[in-house]
Amino acid sequence: MDIHITARHFKAHESLRTYAFDSLKKLERYYNGIVSANVVLSYEKAVNSVKRAELYVTVYGTILKAIVGTDDFVKSIDSVIAKVERQIQKYKSKQRAKKKSVIRKTQAKP
């Protein structure tokens, strides 16, 4: 899996980058077909400093996207990864259903 971490309009600390990298590596246990993952960290508002994390995961055939804004980057990263985990599980179940329907169609034909 190819991982890119981008910080918009600020310099992300190395500990934040390693936390995001390690958290993204855990997505591989849910699905091996992840091609790439892009994380974009930014500030949504300058006044209240809402930290925003965007995650774009490319799998075979589609792109999964999640955006979360909280008061801390670690919380934002955790929330965005949880959202993408649910999307991956849904994607996998759809793929399995497609494969089962193809198998059923070929078995029904004599």
Could you report the per-residue pLDDT of 28-74, keeping only the tens digit for each? 998 888 999 999 999 877 777 899 999 999 998 899 999 999 999 99
Which residues neighbour 32 within 8 Å (Cβ) at sequence distance 6 or greater? none
Number of domains in the chain: 1
| Nearest residue to 54 via CA among 110, 93, 9, 5 | 5
The answer, as to whether pTM is greater than 0.75, is yes
Outline where the chain has alpha helix (H).
Answer: 14-25, 73-108
Host domain of residue 74:
2-108
CATH of residue 33's domain is 3.30.160.100
